[in-house]
C-alpha cells in the first residue's frame, strides 16, 4: 500500500516518528490504524448498548433467556451431530 502525503504532512509524520520513538513510519501508521480500529469497535459497542437501552425493559428473566439460549445451542449441536458442551 502506498500513501501520498503533502510535504507538510510528511514532515509532521517524520516528527511524530522521531518524538514518539517509533522505529519507522510504517510502525507509526500501523499504530494509528490500530487505534482507529479500537475507536470503531468502541463506537459499535456504544451503539449496541444504546440499542439495548432504546429497546425498553426486558420481557423475560435472565433465567428464561439463558434456558432459551441453552436449548437453541443444544438443538444446533444435535442438528450437526455434535453433543459436546
Handedness of CA 68, 70, 74, 76 (dihedral sign): positive
Contact 45, 38 (CB under 8 A): no
Contact 67, 75 (CB under 8 A): no
17-58 pLDDT per residue, tens: 999 999 999 999 999 999 999 999 999 999 999 999 999 998
CA distances from 3 to 23, 44, 51 (A): 18, 27, 37
- What's the rounded mean pLDDT across residues 53-81? 93
Per-residue model confidence (pLDDT) at position 58? 87
Per-residue model confidence (pLDDT) at position 1? 86
Amino acid at each position: 500500500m502506498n500513501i501520498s502525503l503533502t510535504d507538510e504532512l510528511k514532515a509532521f509524520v517524520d516528527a511524530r516518528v522521531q518524538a514518539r520513538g517509533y522505529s519507522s513510519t510504517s510502525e507509526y501508521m500501523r499504530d494509528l490504524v490500530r487505534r482507529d480500529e479500537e475507536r470503531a469497535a468502541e463506537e459499535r459497542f456504544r451503539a449496541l448498548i444504546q440499542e439495548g437501552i432504546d429497546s425498553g425493559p426486558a420481557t423475560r428473566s435472565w433465567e428464561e433467556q439463558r434456558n432459551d439460549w441453552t436449548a437453541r445451542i443444544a438443538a444446533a449441536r444435535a442438528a450437526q451431530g455434535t453433543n459436546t458442551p
